[in-house]
Structure 1
Amino acid sequence: MKEILNSEQLSRTLKRMTHEIIERNNDLEEIVLVGIMKKGLPIAEIIKENLKRFADVDITVFGIDITAYRDDMTDVITNKEKLEVANKNVILVDDVLFTGRSVRAAMDALVDMARPSKVQLAVLVDRGHRELPIRADYVGKNIPTSKEEKVIVDFNNQCVYLD
Structure 2
Amino acid sequence: MVMEKSLILDAPQIKQKIRRMAFEIYEHNFKERSIVIAGIAGQGYVLAKLLAKEVEAISEIKIVLVQVWVDKEAPQQSDVKLDCELKELKKKCIILVDDVLNTGRTFAYGLKPFLNIAVKKIEIAVLVNRSHTLFPIYPQYTGYELATTLTEHVEVVLGKGSAVYLK
> TM-score, normalized by length of structure 2?
0.87
Q: What is the match of residue 44 of structure 1?
A: 48
Q: What is the match of residue 77 of structure 2?
A: 76
Corresponding residue SS for 2:110: helix
| Aligned partner of 2:29 among 25, 29, 43 | 25
What do the CA deviations read for 1:24-73 (whole angstroms, capped 9, x no partner)?
A: 11324231100011111111111111112111433110001122xx6x61
Q: What is the match of residue 148 of structure 1?
A: 151
Structure 1, unmatched stretches of 5+, are none
Task: Give the aligned CA root-mean-square deviation in angstroms.
Answer: 1.9
Structure 1 residue 78 displacement after superposition: 4.4
Query: How far apart, in 1, do the equivalents of 2:50 and 2:123 lie?
Result: 17
Structure 2, unmatched stretches of 5+, are none
Query: How far apart, in 2, do the equivalents of 1:152 and 1:51 lie?
Result: 25
Q: Quick one: percent identity of the two aligned structures? A: 30
Corresponding residue SS for 2:111: helix
Query: Counterparts of 1:49-128 in structure 2 under 5 Å?
Result: 49-67=53-71, 73=74, 76-78=77-79, 80-81=81-82, 82-83=85-86, 84-112=88-116, 114-128=117-131
Query: How far apart, in 2, do the equivalents of 1:56 and 1:66 lie?
Result: 31
Q: What is the match of residue 131 of structure 1?
A: 134
> TM-score, normalized by length of structure 1?
0.89
Q: What is the match of residue 157 of structure 1?
A: 161
